[in-house]
């Protein structure tokens, strides 16, 4: 397995070198969006209105951070179960999103979209939101404040630790893990 230390603006370029199971330390700009924010994004898309951030080569983190304590940039910011966004993800990949970050498996439609668009799906460790938040250096709410923790935020991350869960060749760490477990039984 390989390790990549890359900027968010380099994800698309390095996607063809990444394989399921590789480690990624990501630095740069990411955007948070969960279920409610995705619904609002799609309403804007369907109306032909502008979005609060550019989709081309964007990295979307499925997270709804907790409020920051005094003196902190952000509260706990762990990943949300990605399957909840599966109905939205294929279209977003088709519109240029380079990567999504979350936890858990994805649908076959999402896997196809990742392969077709030469993108990746990255996993963050669930249950470790306080640790993930240490890698967030700036956070700004940019859209849908009425959604509270589900508002869209632009965040600057530094060396955010991730694993390539789905690569652009169809590699799937979840499938690989089950196969390895079966061999070791």
Q: Catalytic positions, please? A: 38
Q: Which residues contact 15 (CB under 8 A, 6 or more apart)?
A: 98, 99, 118, 119, 120, 167, 168
Q: Which residues contact 65 (CB under 8 A, 6 or more apart)?
A: 32, 74, 75, 76, 77, 129, 133, 139, 149, 153
For the record, the structure tokens of 32 come out as: 């948070």
Quickly tell me which residue has 């088709």 as its tokens.
Answer: 94
Rounded to whole angstroms, the Cα distance separating 103 from 126 reads 6
For the record, the structure tokens of 16 come out as: 């063809």
């Amino acid at each position: 397995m390989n390790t990549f230390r890359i900027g968010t603006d380099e994800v698309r370029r390095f996607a063809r070198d990444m394989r399921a199971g590789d480690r990624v330390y990501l630095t740069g700009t990411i955007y948070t969006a969960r279920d409610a924010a995705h619904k609002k994004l799609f309403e804007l898309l369907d109306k032909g209105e502008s979005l609060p951030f550019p989709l081309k080569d964007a990295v979307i983190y499925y997270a709804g951070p907790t409020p920051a304590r005094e003196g902190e940039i952000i509260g706990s910011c762990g990943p949300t179960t990605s399957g909840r966004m599966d109905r939205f993800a294929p279209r977003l990949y088709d519109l240029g999103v380079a990567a999504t970050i979350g936890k858990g498996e994805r649908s076959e439609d999402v896997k196809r979209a990742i392969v077709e668009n030469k993108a990746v799906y990255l996993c963050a460790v669930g249950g470790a939101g306080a640790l993930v938040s240490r890698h967030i250096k700036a956070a700004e709410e940019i859209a849908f404040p009425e959604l509270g923790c589900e508002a869209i935020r632009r965040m600057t991350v530094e060396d955010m630790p991730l694993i390539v869960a789905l690569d652009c060749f169809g590699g799937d760490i979840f499938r690989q893990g089950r196969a390895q477990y079966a061999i070791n039984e």
